[in-house]
Amino acid sequence: NAGVTQTPKFRILKIGQSMTLQCTQDMNHNYMYWYRQDPGMGLKLIYYSVGAGITDKGEVPNGYNVSRSTTEDFPLRLELAAPSQTSVYFCASSTTGVGNQPQHFGDGTRLSIL
Amino acid sequence: RKEVEQDPGPFNVPEGATVAFNCTYSNSASQSFFWYRQDCRKEPKLLMSVYSSGNEDGRFTAQLNRASQYISLLIRDSKLSDSATYLCVVTVYSSASKIIFGSGTRLSIRP
């Protein structure tokens, strides 16, 4: 049972570099989400998607972009990495409406910007 | 004021004890409430939803108090494996739905 798969698990970037965090799910969920979690803090919603071709901003979208060309994939793009983007990034999916539960989370991507 | 607030803890209790913690929310339009569990360096996992009438799942009981705008989680007969961080999650449905995670309450069960 793959569920939600995130790659890579760890990454170190230099300031100004770009990268894409990959997220794929095999549960045929329409709703997908990207969160970031800073040390000792709760998760903050970056972007979400209610289906292929539809994305929307969450609470902290600045500095990120997303796309949803298929139901399965929801990549998160950092164009110009900044130290403030050092965090753990979680992708999640759910069957029904935004905020409805349960959300199934991936293992996370630990990203450091130096 | 944070939209969702939790006592960060840590709560350090002996095995077998009963422990309870609250989560307060500020937006009266909040409509869905949940407790998630997060182990160290792991992803969050849904523990239970919180219904207006209160609900129980084994040793865990969740309650919602809309008048005072808080939810609670009670753990009875605590086990070592209950050691984790418990996240309160609130969803606000409006023109732009919001999913708000609390910062979490750390619970440590000692033998």
What would the pLDDT profile of A41-78 be if each residue is shown by its tens digit?
888 999 999 899 999 998 899 999 999 999 999 999 99
Task: Provide the pLDDT confidence category of residue A96 given band limits of 50, 70 and 90.
Answer: confident
Interchain CB contacts (distance < 8 Å): A and B: 54
Give the pLDDT of residue A95. 83
Nearest to A105 among B4, B44, B93 (CB): B44
Query: How distant is the Cα of B66 from the closest Cα of chain A, in angstroms?
Result: 19
Q: Is residue A65 within 8 Å of A57, Cβ to Cβ? A: no
Give the pLDDT of residue B60. 97
CA of A42: which chain B residue's CA is closest?
Answer: B103
Give the pLDDT of residue A71. 95
Q: Which residues in chain A are closer than 8 Å to B103, comparing Cβ atoms?
A: 40-42
Instruction: Give residues 58 to 77 of B whose Cβ lies within 8 Å of A.
Output: none
First-to-last alpha carbon distance for chain B, in angstroms, is: 37
DSSP letter at A73?
Answer: B
Nearest to A42 among B43, B97, B102 (CB): B102
- For residue B108, what are the contacts with CB-CB under 8 A and spacing of at least 6? B10, B11, B12, B13, B83
Give the pLDDT of residue B96. 65
Give the pLDDT of residue B93. 75
Give the pLDDT of residue B41. 87
Give the pLDDT of residue B95. 63
pLDDT at residue B19 greater than cutoff 90: yes
Across the range B10-39, mean pLDDT stands at 92
Across the range A10-19, mean pLDDT stands at 96
pLDDT at residue B12 greater than cutoff 80: yes
Give the pLDDT of residue A99. 56
Give the pLDDT of residue A59. 87
